[in-house]
Structure 1
């Protein structure tokens, strides 16, 4: 793979791209590499929705609405 590597004054680059303040008025190294999009390595994002479905417990799901109330009652009932 061929590339270009050059050390230059950042003022030359500021004509082409916006540079952060901490790079202005300094020597910088510029490396230019070819961009090759490879569709084989391109990852697609899959949804994890439903991946834990086999672990669900319907009885516990039904109790979720009152879980906080039960916990507070158990903890502070005799205080």
Structure 2
């Protein structure tokens, strides 16, 4: 990403931007970055993971899923 970074006297910038009182008559660092519309960033970065793991699904195991926890508890604690 291209950017510009310069040190300037804040008095030189008063006609361009609003300078807070605490920064007046001081040297300040000015960083200029390209503007990216927030909506563009959201659209570009928005990806769906839906179906990403579908190649690992096993319909046989899915049918046994509902009672898996109760069977695991019985197996672990049955003889205590």
TM interval, short-chain normalised: 0.5 to 0.7
Task: Give the Cα separation in 2 of the matches to 1:72 and 1:53.
Answer: 28
Q: 1:28 to 1:71 in 2, by over 3 A?
A: farther
CA RMSD of aligned residues (A): 3.7
Alpha-carbon distance, 1:67 to partner = 1.0
More helix by share: 2
Structure 2: state its 5+ residue gaps.
11-17
2:20 paired residue among 9, 14, 20? 14
Moved over 3 A (4+): 1-4, 24-28, 33-37
- Normalising by structure 1, what TM-score? 0.54
- In structure 1, stretches of 5+ residues that fail to align are 16-23
